[in-house]
A = this chain, B = another copy of it.
Amino acid sequence: MHGRQHHNIQLNEEGGLRHFLTIDGLGRDLLTRILDTAESFATLPGRPVKKVPALRGRIITNLFFENSTRTRTTFELAAKRLSADVLNFNVSTSATSKGETLLDTLRNIEAMHCEMFVVRHNESGAAHFIARHAAPGVSVINAGDGRHAHPTQAMLDMFTIRKHKGDFTPLRVAIVGDILHSRVARSQILALNTLGVTEVRVVGPRTLIPTDARALGVHVYHDLDEGLREVDVVIMLRLQKERMAGALLPSEEEYFRLYGLTNERLEAAKPDAIVMHPGPMNRSVEMDSEVADGPRSVILQQVSYGIAVRMAIMSMCMQTFEADGRPA
């Protein structure tokens, strides 16, 4: 495993982060180092996150092939908190429409001295493709590619879990909803298993669970009450409403009846279980408002911690930190 990491496109020769494309192939030490670095950027609730000069004068480009104001904003904020300069390229409206190839667009932005691309694309593998073709010294962060991966979301989820539960080892975690189409779920499962939790469960209708789910190292449940029994963490996934039309799902009401989270159903979980959601949330579809706004919901903390976690990943990729986690 250690030997393999040294050939992972995500790592530099010293085993430090260069790109951040997927949780796959990253070891527990590295994930823990990301969480520890994020801890140094996070602050007390209600206080603004620290602004630090770590990336002053460095240029980061948001290269979004899929529009997502919120995700772009969290990366932009993280970059600004690090004092970097940020370029926003909405690719559908810029040079590629003039017949230029994607690689020429990349080369051009690199030539403007950009040292990092944050990439969002609706095709799986897009961030890897860009990373494989990036110039030396240029890092790529995957902000979501197709159904493949959304690793910064998974890491902010891990950070939130660690804040509340401390140790990952004894935890049982249930991920509920549309596992089949979810890049978030795929990255969460990899991160939870790498960090050594006791059990990861996926809960959802047969039509929304991948047929090879067990190969991912999870237990599969089709009944919500069974799936939630004695878990420490409940992660509800966003339901893409367009799945309804595609006959993969019954009505919203029927979905909520079977898989929607209520305080009553949450009683199956441990008394101190926390409830998470990557947002944006469909209230009364994925969960009841009494759960979303209740004492066990940590949904808004996920958003807050997202800034610090992205700051950590960005600064580690740009080698402001040494491979051993000390500032460069």
Whether the Cβ atoms of A56 and B51 lie closer than 8 Å is yes
Are the C-beta atoms of A280 and B104 separated by less than 8 Å? Answer: yes
A99 and B69 contact, CB distance less than 8 A: no
Copies of this protein chain in the complex: 3
Nearest-neighbour CB distance to chain B for A216, whole angstroms, equals 27
Interface residues of A in 33-53 (CB under 8 A from B): 46-51
With a CB–CB cut-off of 8 A, which chain B residues contact A9? none
Between A46, A50, A67, the greatest number of chain B beta carbons within 10 A of the residue's beta carbon is seen for A46
What range describes how many residues of A lie at the interface? Answer: 35 or more
Known contacts A99-B280, A100-B279, A280-B100: A49-B300 contact under CB 8 Å = no
> Is there contact, CB below 8 Å, between A95 and B70?
yes
Let me know if A244 is at the binding interface, CB within 8 A: no
Knowing A100-B279, A100-B281, A280-B104 are in contact, say whether A77-B112 is a contact too (CB < 8 A): yes
A-B contact pairs, 25 of them (CB 8 A): A47-B113, A48-B57, A48-B58, A67-B93, A69-B89, A69-B90, A69-B94, A70-B108, A73-B87, A74-B112, A76-B87, A77-B85, A77-B112, A77-B113, A81-B85, A98-B280, A99-B241, A104-B279, A104-B281, A104-B283, A105-B280, A108-B303, A111-B300, A111-B304, A112-B304
